[in-house]
A and B are shown apart, each in its own frame.
Chain A
Amino acid sequence: MTDYLLILVSTILVNNFVLVQFLGLCPFMGVSNKLETAIGMSAATTFVLTLASVCSYLVYTYLLVPLDLEYLRTISFIMVIAVVVGFTEMAMRKTSPLLYRVLGIFLPLITTNCAVLGVALLNIKRDNSFVESILYGFGAAVGFSLVMVLFAAMRERIAVADVPKPFQGSAIAMITAGLMSLAFLGFTGLVSI
């Protein structure tokens, strides 16, 4: 039980995928202009990340390992992720057309979000069990959502703030992201696994 809790704390705060491991930066900068969009993107990514890490674990353990084909893991994981994203996209188009329109191109771009592939590969590298893989994927997604929502909220504030001209737009966003990353470094040493 403690192990599972540690995995969650580790992936959400200590080894946060966006701010500490610098994975998935494209949606982090791209979809964080509006809080609503950021929440939608976080929800979609959470779903895809968790499901993709489960599916890729199953494919690896029950197909690749018995057949001695471990070297095919990257290509088969990419395939798994693409299918999960495609499925999510179709389901979302049916259930929430507004979110589908708001997320637009960023939804298919989850396919190439390196955090998703990163989680699947790190699961293998860390020899995670089935439950641990689910938690690892879910924790990574929650960590992603957390910084995404925090960052979007900050950017909404910055948008109405009096920013000096050379820093306006992406520049101040980059600086903010850097400061957030520094802040998250403060969690280092909180748990060690």
Chain B
Amino acid sequence: MSSILIAILLLATLAVIFGAILGFAAVRFKVEGNPIVDQIDNLLPQTQCGQCSYPGCKPYAEAIAAGESINKCPPGGESTIIALADLLGVEPEPLDAEHGAEKDAVMVAIIREDECIGCTKCIQACPIDAIMGAAKQMHTVIADECTGCDLCVEPCPVDCIDMIPIETTLQTWHWDKPEDLIATSEQSHEKNLEQGVH
């Protein structure tokens, strides 16, 4: 009888000790927020344009971490999708057309200033406060801040906002990134493997 009691006592004591260890670990290794969210957020283009139907890049990063699909970011385009797929270990998917198409060139919004009636509607639409102006005064876009997200075009009642592709000048031109270092080149690398070329 007593040996059974000892056995039960021993297992109970062990369970209490182990529970204490795990309880301590849970407090000691408490994770502040979700670190993977920050890594995803770093890969997103930070246009804060909301075309993914989330109110910004950070909320979309949180949604991706919770299982949202990775193909809803038109400004980031294919390269962002591939980088995200690489980070999360999932298959890259084509861009979801429902959220807009990827643009070939970097765009910037330009207001035709003599047509502007000063309604401030585009100022409210701009997610990054890149439009300056006041009521009944002419507005203008700070070109350096503009992320080319298109959101100000729709609200303008007189359609005086154009999306202009930024032309490459001597000041903005740079060498292509080395191919082997970026995620998009992985596919061509795999293709080489298939053909037996290394």
For chain A, give the interface size range: 20 to 34
Contact of B22 with A87 in the complex, beta carbons under 8 Å: yes
Closest to B24 in A: A87
A-B contact count (CB 8 A): 60
Question: Among the listed stretches A92-100, A145-153, A163-171, which one makes contact with chain B, having 4 or more residues with CB under 8 Å of it?
Answer: A92-100
B112 → chain A, closest Cβ, in Å? 48
A183 at the interface (CB under 8 A from B): no
Total count of chain B residues near the partner, CB < 8 A: 25
Contact of B21 with A87 in the complex, beta carbons under 8 Å: yes
CA distance A176 to B122 in the complex (A): 63
Given A83-B21, A102-B89, verify A91-B29 contact (CB < 8 Å). yes
Question: Among the listed stretches A4-12, A22-30, A65-73, A113-121, which one makes contact with chain B, having 4 or more residues with CB under 8 Å of it?
Answer: A65-73
CA distance A75 to B146 in the complex (A): 64
Which residues of B line the A interface, CB within 8 A?
3, 6-7, 10-11, 14-15, 18, 21-22, 25-26, 29-31, 34-36, 39, 87-89, 190, 193-194
Which residues of A line the B interface, CB within 8 A?
34, 37, 59, 63-64, 67-69, 72, 75-76, 79-80, 82-83, 86-87, 90-91, 93-94, 97-98, 101-102, 160
> Closest 10 interchain pairs by CB?
A94-B29, A97-B35, A90-B29, A83-B18, A90-B25, A87-B25, A97-B36, A86-B22, A69-B7, A160-B194
